[in-house]
């Protein structure tokens, strides 16, 4: 090729890899036979295998054999049956807000896509037009992509609200409330609906009530991230309590839903941005603007995953199957939590380990410090995030002893 053409991209710097994916890569390259991957957030069976939900297999067969189905474009906002049934899952079948015709939705590419659409909409229309200075608060710590989603949508001021108390290994509720009381009015708050990622620590109902009261008083915007509904406790309704409570308190709000984990549809990118508006007229205008944002980002969403979810949610039999599958996953995680705690206690590992069973969902913030984590990875070939976060799904009845021993060693040998 013509060397006279100076590349326009010769100045492009190498970007750092995304930590959680690098961890998986390192795990994959490791030859140690007893290696354990407690990194990426995906469900694993007790054989440490990915699990395609039986109901999903069933529905895929239905789809493949239905000659009436084709691959035509979905509407810009997505498959209507998916959007409405997905919102019902979050808000409840009997949600007054739905009955009042003030709930709408945008089918998006996974939870990330839903957060992205919400963020783009808020940046354009919330607190004025294009007010990029509106503070966005994410929990300390939070899912590492939250920051980038809002920053890339144009928000210039992304802050953290107190959340995890490392010392007591629990929720810093006073700190959280303090931030709600002192933050600028109209700030946007990203709240984890349940199974907080990465800490697994959720507010109690009483605490949620106080959070809601304060947010209402201070005119703060509610943006729920719901990636684990059903997966946390095993009950869809229990896991949606906070979201539904806020709706009942008349908040106008957004809720980004992911069906990656609770449907095991990770790579089909199935998400839903539920919009709860003041009334139907507001909703109509909001959705029309959402269409414009969708059109310049991906035009219309992918069909396959949404179809699977819609068919499942709209058939009583399949819906029951799905709830069973979800409970299977949640129960296995609960079992691993109970066993890990029991083993650590039996080993006499220093410290208290109650947080392992008090925390909920896929992740646990073990409390291991970076040095101890390094020990786990390098010496024991147990891969976890530097933050001390482990994915409970990576634990199995076969490796749990090894992991417990590894934690014991890390805690006793490394300070």
> With respect to another protein, which residue has the nearer C-beta, 71 or 378?
71
225 is catalytic: yes
Residue 19 interacting with another protein (CB under 8 A): no
Minimum CB–partner distance for residue 379 and another protein (Å):
28
Minimum CB–partner distance for residue 303 and another protein (Å):
4
Residue 344 interacting with another protein (CB under 8 A): no
Please report, as residue ranges, which positions from 24 to 53 form the binding site for another protein (by CB under 8 A).
Answer: 40, 42, 49-52
> With respect to another protein, which residue has the nearer C-beta, 61 or 398?
61
Q: How far apart are CA 84 and CA 88, in angstroms?
A: 6
> With respect to another protein, which residue has the nearer C-beta, 87 or 134?
134
Please report, as residue ranges, which positions from 297 to 336 form the binding site for another protein (by CB under 8 A).
Answer: 297-305
User: Are residues 229 and 194 in contact, defined by beta-carbon separation less than 8 angstroms?
Assistant: yes
> With respect to another protein, which residue has the nearer C-beta, 95 or 127?
127
Among 55, 56, 360, 368, binds another protein (CB under 8 A): 56
Please report, as residue ranges, which positions from 351 to 410 form the binding site for another protein (by CB under 8 A).
Answer: none
Please report, as residue ranges, which positions from 148 to 167 form the binding site for another protein (by CB under 8 A).
Answer: 148-149, 151-152
143 is catalytic: yes
Minimum CB–partner distance for residue 232 and another protein (Å):
20
Using CB under 8 A, count the residues that bind another protein.
81
Residue from 51, 116, 143, 341 carrying the catalytic annotation: 143
> With respect to another protein, which residue has the nearer C-beta, 249 or 342?
249
Residue from 172, 179, 202, 225 carrying the catalytic annotation: 225
Gap between the terminal Cα atoms of the chain: 57
> With respect to another protein, which residue has the nearer C-beta, 150 or 375?
150
Q: How far apart are CA 270 and CA 242, in angstroms?
A: 22
Residue from 261, 321, 322, 341 carrying the catalytic annotation: 261
In the block, tokens 């499942």 appear at: 312
Q: How far apart are CA 113 and CA 203, in angstroms?
A: 26
Q: How far apart are CA 399 and CA 411, in angstroms?
A: 18
User: Are residues 222 and 180 in contact, defined by beta-carbon separation less than 8 angstroms?
Assistant: no
> With respect to another protein, which residue has the nearer C-beta, 74 or 190?
74
> With respect to another protein, which residue has the nearer C-beta, 333 or 411?
333
Residue 64 interacting with another protein (CB under 8 A): yes
Residue 282 interacting with another protein (CB under 8 A): yes
Among 284, 371, 398, 413, binds another protein (CB under 8 A): 284
Residue 116 interacting with another protein (CB under 8 A): yes
Count other Cβ atoms within 10 Å, centred on residue 347.
17
Residue 14 interacting with another protein (CB under 8 A): yes
Among 353, 354, 348, 333, which residue's Cα sits nearest to residue 397? 333
Q: Which segment (29-37, 84-92, 274-282, 378-386) binds another protein by CB under 8 A?
A: 274-282
Q: Lay out the site mask for another protein across 224-263 (x = CB under 8 A, - = otherwise).
A: --------------------------x-x-------x---
298 is catalytic: no
Minimum CB–partner distance for residue 89 and another protein (Å):
19
Please report, as residue ranges, which positions from 95 to 114 form the binding site for another protein (by CB under 8 A).
Answer: 108-110, 112-113
Please report, as residue ranges, which positions from 200 to 229 form the binding site for another protein (by CB under 8 A).
Answer: 221
Minimum CB–partner distance for residue 331 and another protein (Å):
21
Kindly list the catalytic residues.
143, 225, 261
């Amino acid at each position: 090729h013509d060397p006279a053409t100076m590349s326009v991209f010769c100045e492009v710097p190498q970007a750092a890899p995304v930590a959680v994916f690098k961890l998986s890569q390192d795990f994959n390259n490791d030859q140690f036979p007893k290696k354990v991957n407690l990194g990426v957030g995906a469900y694993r069976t007790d054989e440490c295998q990915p699990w395609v939900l039986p109901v999903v297999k069933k529905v895929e067969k239905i789809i493949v054999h239905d000659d009436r189905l084709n691959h035509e474009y979905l509407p810009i906002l997505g498959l209507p049956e998916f959007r409405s049934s997905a919102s019902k899952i979050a808000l409840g079948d009997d949600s007054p807000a739905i009955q009042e015709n003030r709930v709408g939705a945008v089918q998006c590419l996974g939870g990330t896509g839903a957060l992205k659409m919400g963020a783009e909409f808020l940046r354009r229309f919330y607190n004025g037009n294009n007010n990029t200075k509106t503070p966005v608060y994410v929990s300390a710590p939070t899912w590492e992509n939250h920051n980038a989603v809002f920053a890339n949508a144009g928000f210039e001021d992304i802050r953290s609200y107190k959340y995890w108390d490392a010392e007591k290994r629990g929720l810093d509720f006073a700190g959280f409330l303090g931030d709600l009381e002192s933050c600028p009015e109209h700030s946007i708050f990203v709240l984890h609906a349940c199974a907080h990622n990465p800490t697994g620590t959720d507010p109690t109902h009483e605490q949620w009530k106080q959070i809601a009261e304060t947010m209402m008083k201070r005119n703060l915007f509610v943006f729920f991230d719901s990636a684990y509904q059903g997966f946390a406790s095993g009950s869809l309704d229990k896991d949606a309590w906070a979201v539904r409570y806020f709706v009942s308190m008349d908040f106008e709000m957004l809720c980004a839903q992911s069906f990656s984990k609770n449907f095991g549809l990770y790579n089909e990118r199935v998400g839903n941005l539920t919009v709860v508006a003041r009334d139907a007229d507001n909703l109509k205008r909001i959705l029309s603007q959402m269409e414009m944002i969708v059109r310049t980002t991906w035009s219309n969403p992918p069909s396959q995953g949404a179809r699977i979810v819609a068919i499942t949610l709209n058939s009583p039999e399949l819906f029951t199957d799905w709830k069973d599958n979800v409970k299977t996953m949640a129960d296995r995680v609960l079992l691993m939590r109970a066993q890990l705690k029991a083993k650590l206690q039996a080993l006499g590992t220093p410290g208290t380990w109650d947080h392992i069973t008090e925390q909920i969902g896929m992740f646990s913030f073990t409390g291991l410090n970076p040095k101890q984590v390094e020990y786990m990875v390098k010496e024991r070939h147990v891969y976890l995030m530097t933050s001390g976060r482990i994915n409970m799904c990576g634990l199995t009845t076969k490796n749990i002893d090894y992991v417990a021993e590894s934690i014991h060693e890390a805690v006793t040998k490394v300070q």
